[in-house]
Structure 1
Amino acid sequence: MPDDPSADLTVLIVSYNTRALTLKCLETLYANTRARFRTIVVDNASQDGSAEAIAARFPQVMLIASAKNLGFAAANNLAAARARSDWLLLLNPDTETYPGGVDALLAFSKANPQAGITGGRTYYPDGSLNPYSCSARLTLWSTACRASGLAAAFPRSPLFNPEAYGGWQRDSARRVDIVVGCFLMIRRSLWDQLGGFDLRYFMYGEDYDLCLRAGRLGYRPMLCPEAKIMHLVGASTTLRARRHILVAKSRVSLIHDHWHPALVPLGVALTWLWGALRTAAALSRAVLRRHPSSRESAAQWREIWRARRSWLQPY
């Protein structure tokens, strides 16, 4: 259906060299959503013809073709500034909506105004559950579990994998600390009150920071199990080492921004330990297995470890 300037929902999409994926995202969005909505796409200086293809296939979309890569946070802030609806939906370009998914999330958001921010369930292309549509906040315990490998060893344990709400299948409505920005709905008035994303977070962590700041205002983000999408995860960050570096830097930034100052050095030290143990494990596997994939992993972790001075500093 065509975009409606009087709609109460605006969908914000930020694309970066994801031409085919973004087109599929828009195709499923329009095919599977009955609510009236507008769409704003910010293309972050893609080199794959994304902006031209979007303009040709979806003329009803408000397209902002940036001359430079603004990053996820700044691009969403730019798009949100153009929205006039009561509700905003942040949607990644590497997602495909399922029938009624956006409608369910909009209805749920309106029925639970105390949430402020809402999200839904995400699935991998093979139909299996992707648990990373929401998260619990970083704590000293969760950071220690991640650093020591306990979270990876016991992924279904709520004790040892608390950030992922280990064991919960996202099949019930529930308060959560964090709604991940791949599929995040927020009332525009709250977005404006929070000032949108903190622009220090170029990529990763901006959604965590947004939700934690909303929590300080008394809102309690929630997950709606009936709202479902498919998410490829990380399609616009193809270099694995680069992604780990960005995630680690965002975690250190969140520790600095949201932890008690006395705990910050411990959190940073545990992040250092995470990098050290992962690098040592990758190098050991490369020596013992002598397999090309093990050598590739070792090379990636060497790169991550060499960049530790960068990711151990906050934004």
Structure 2
Amino acid sequence: MFPKSTERVSAKSVKQLTIIIVSYNTAPMTLKAIEALDLHNRSVDYDCIVIDNASTDGSVEKISEAFPMVRVISLRENVGFACANNLAASYCTTPYLLLLNPDTEADVGAVCALMTFAKAAPGAGIWGGRTVFSDRTLNKASCWAAPSLHSLLFRAVGLSRIFSQSALFNPEEYGNWERDDIRQVDIVVGCLLLIRRDIWNMLGGFNSKYFMYGEDADLCLRARALGCQPMITPDAQIVHHVGASTNNNDEKAILVMKARVSLIQDHWPAWQVRYGILLMWFWSALRFVITRPLAYSGNSKGVLSAQRWQLIWRRRDTWLNGYDQA
């Protein structure tokens, strides 16, 4: 079990939570995210920090003007999601940190429910909620199981897609679990991730080599190695308008593959790593071959899929080594 919190909050202290939002050319959505917090989650007294990754859409000025109570930190260059969160967290003094994506809108009482859950299950150390798409249908990507040899094999040969509701063949998504009950998970996704600040500090925050994608998985897996038991509650729900910070889907595809390779390198037993990298190569090669006919199908989704896997295959040298180890 992870050690109890070392934080001491005086009786006079009110704020126990700081919400951190990393923005990058997402001014309209970031404003909506803060507005949802302000309208629907006033029962929690929190600080809010928006750290801006050198946006060019006037995010800093717009957010500062609309919400003067929010601390806005403007960076001169895009340092990535991981480094930006680390920098923002260095300014925090509250016992809890909540990482929230700019393309989210918290439901009524979501933050309060998450804080209540954290205090009821302190051993978890990291807590998350339930995410839905804009149409209110379930978005499973609030949590994941850790990737493994067999989960990657099933992804590579397509069984995870064919049997998406199977916990056996689609273990990373926890099969058909609707995220409708409390459960321990391996990974809480960084779009809505609550963590004790002392645990964050002990872990050194995000590993900064993960520029974007994979940093939350790495954090949770390192926390689990120290005794944390991350948990999900359905009572804390947000709408996640996916992908606002990465408008270039080609860039996202490469970063996701690179992050998966880095997670294999960083968290799998040494003897499994070479097999994991081989499966990543096989996965991309097989998808490249299978989707080639779709490029000429006239179906827009099929064409996009073929183009994406063509790009991933041709740029395999870019991601097969993972993120730089420096």
Identity of aligned residues (%): 52
CA distance in 1, matches of 2:268, 2:254: 21
Match for residue 59 of structure 1? Answer: 68
Q: Does 1:262 align with 2:271?
A: yes
Match for residue 82 of structure 1? Answer: 91
| RMSD over equivalenced CA pairs, Å | 1.3
CA distance in 2, matches of 1:263, 1:304: 23
Secondary structure of 1:85 counterpart: coil
Unaligned runs of 5+ in 2: 1-12
Match for residue 92 of structure 1? Answer: 101
User: 198, 214, 219: which one pairs with 2:223?
Assistant: 214
Within-5 A mapping of 1:171-210: 171-210=180-219
CA distance in 2, matches of 1:76, 1:129: 26
CA distance in 2, matches of 1:140, 1:291: 33
CA distance in 2, matches of 1:60, 1:195: 28
Conservation of the 8 A alpha-carbon contact between 2:132 and 2:239: yes
Match for residue 120 of structure 1? Answer: 129
CA distance in 1, matches of 2:285, 2:98: 38
Match for residue 53 of structure 2? Answer: 44
Structure 1 runs of 4+ with >4 Å offset? none
Secondary structure of 2:271 counterpart: helix
Unaligned runs of 5+ in 1: none
Match for residue 38 of structure 2? Answer: 30
User: 148, 165, 168: which one pairs with 2:157?
Assistant: 148
Conservation of the 8 A alpha-carbon contact between 2:253 and 2:308: no
Shift in Å, 1:292 = 4.7
CA distance in 1, matches of 2:153, 2:230: 25
Match for residue 135 of structure 1? Answer: 144
Q: Deviations over 1:258-293 (max 9, x none)?
A: 001110011001111111122222212123x23455
Conservation of the 8 A alpha-carbon contact between 1:6 and 1:85: no
Match for residue 247 of structure 1? Answer: 256
Secondary structure of 1:137 counterpart: coil
User: 13, 17, 31: which one pairs with 2:21?
Assistant: 13
Conservation of the 8 A alpha-carbon contact between 1:137 and 1:163: yes
Give the TM-score normalised by the residue count of structure 1. 0.96
Please tell me the residue identity of whatever aligns with 1:36: D
Conservation of the 8 A alpha-carbon contact between 2:295 and 2:307: no
